[in-house]
């Protein structure tokens, strides 16, 4: 056995709360992507159809999204989109080997998590 040999087997702590930032970005990117596929995208298509279809539909859904609870739900969907957006840009940069080292990758993961929340808060603040 060489001195450099690492202890095996390795046990990684895969508990979500203990994941390092890049792991959190990754799993949220996956979960947000799946939720955007369903139910968020069909909900948006339905809203597009209903608000374009008739004046009553437009007024009804405008009033609906003036309710605080509906606004919060919409902001939740916006947060999923925003996270997916910023995490995706990070992955495109990593594909180009920009920030590929461990330290900058960890920093950019934190930046992605913060930007997703900030963008959601900014939209929520302008909208409220």
Partner 1 sequence: MKRYTRTPVGAHYGLGDWLLQRLTAVVMALYTVFALAYVVCYPPHTRADWKAMVSGGFLRLFTMLFIAALLYHAWVGMRDILMDYLHATGVRLAAQSIVALVLAFYLIWSASILWGK
Interface ranges with partner 1 (CB under 8 A): 30, 33-34, 36-38, 41-42, 45, 48-49, 51-52, 54-55, 57-58, 81, 85, 88-89, 92, 95, 126
* Smallest distance from partner 1 to CB 4, Å: 32
* Smallest distance from partner 1 to CB 59, Å: 8
Dihedral, 87, 93, 96, 100 alpha carbons, nearest 10: -90
Tokens of 62: 């405008």
Q: In terms of CB distance, is 6 or 125 closer to partner 1?
A: 125
Q: In terms of CB distance, is 29 or 105 closer to partner 1?
A: 29
* Smallest distance from partner 1 to CB 13, Å: 20
- 126's enclosing H/E stretch is helix 102-127
* Smallest distance from partner 1 to CB 122, Å: 11
Q: In terms of CB distance, is 96 or 103 closer to partner 1?
A: 96
Q: Are the C-beta atoms of 113 and 24 separated by less than 8 Å?
A: yes
CA distance 4 to 126: 56
Q: In terms of CB distance, is 20 or 42 closer to partner 1?
A: 42
Judge residue 101's burial from the number of C-beta atoms within 10 Å of its C-beta, 0-12 exposed, 13-18 middle, 19 or more buried. Answer: exposed
CA 43 to each of CA 36, 40, 73: distance values in angstroms, whole numbers, following the listed order:
10, 5, 12
């Amino acid at each position: 056995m060489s001195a450099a040999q690492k202890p095996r087997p390795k046990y990684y702590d895969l508990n979500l709360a203990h994941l390092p930032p890049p792991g959190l970005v990754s799993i949220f990117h996956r979960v947000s992507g799946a939720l955007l596929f369903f139910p968020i995208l069909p909900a948006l298509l339905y809203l597009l159809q209903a608000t374009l279809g008739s004046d009553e539909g437009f007024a009804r859904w405008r009033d609906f999204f003036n309710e605080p609870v509906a606004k919060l739900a919409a902001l939740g969907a916006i947060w999923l989109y925003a996270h997916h957006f910023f995490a995706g840009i990070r992955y495109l940069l990593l594909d180009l080997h920009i920030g590929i080292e461990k330290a900058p990758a960890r920093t950019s993961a934190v930046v992605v998590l913060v930007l997703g929340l900030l963008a959601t808060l900014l939209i929520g603040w302008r909208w409220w």
